[in-house]
Amino acid sequence: MLGLLIHAFAPTGPVILGVDDTIERRRGKRITAKGIYRDPVRSSDAHFVKASGLRWISLMLLAPIPWAARTWALPFLTALAPSERYCRERGRRHKKLTDWARQMMLQVRRWLPERELVLAALYEPAPPRRPGTNGRPRTKGARLPNLSDVLVRTSTRWRRVTVPRWYGEGDRVVEFCSAPAVWRHGGKPVVPIR
């Protein structure tokens, strides 16, 4: 399926991927891998809502769709991520979502050894909330450009510093640029980074 999606929507350039987890609400005695998780849709910072079911992690191709005027997330690889309790009861090692995502990315690397893969996305911090605005406050601002684009932009402002004892050797002059950003993952607090 990934080959068909790549051929149709991303024949050239970097392959932009997204990863996300979702809870399939299921009940019944035969559904043994179910667990109890935080519901990211109905929960907020002050209100915790639990959901029972199966947790799936999906890897998606993020492709601009010309006729839709937006980017679509097209899933092509999904894995069941059992709960910690389920693994403990069966004597299995529990894998975190980040471990599942890493393993899935390694599989995509085997499928597409010659293509550049991009998984992370950085955003500007959320703009100040306007008075009288309804709904949940925004957690992120506009999408920031990829770091490879920042490297070649003429507008990038570089700073030059001397780093003493560079890896145990002498002083070294390096250039860098710095800006605030946020990384957001559904159901988790926004992580400010620089």
Cα angle, residue 93 at apex, residues 87 and 94 outer, rounded to 5°: 60
Token couple for 137: 């406050």
For residue 64, is it within any domain? Answer: yes
pLDDT of residue 67: 79
For residue 74, is it within any domain? Answer: yes
pLDDT of residue 186: 58
pLDDT of residue 107: 94
pLDDT of residue 188: 64
For residue 138, is it within any domain? Answer: no
pLDDT of residue 89: 86
CB within 8 Å of 6: residues ≥ 6 apart: 15, 61, 112, 115
User: For the whole model, what pTM was predicted?
Assistant: 0.57
pLDDT of residue 187: 59
DSSP per position, the chain = -HHHHHHHH-SSS-EEEEEEEEEE---STT-TT-EEEE-TTT--SS---EEEEEEEEEEEEEEEETTTTEEEEEEEEEEE---HHHHHHTTPPP--HHHHHHHHHHHHHHH-TTS-EE----BPPPPPPPTT--SSPPS--SBPPPHHHHHH-TT---EEEEETTGGGSS-EEEEE----EEE--TTS--EEE-
Residue 56: give the domain boundaries. Answer: 2-118
For residue 81, is it within any domain? Answer: yes
State the total domains in the chain.
1
Segments of the chain with pLDDT less than 50: none
For residue 190, is it within any domain? Answer: no
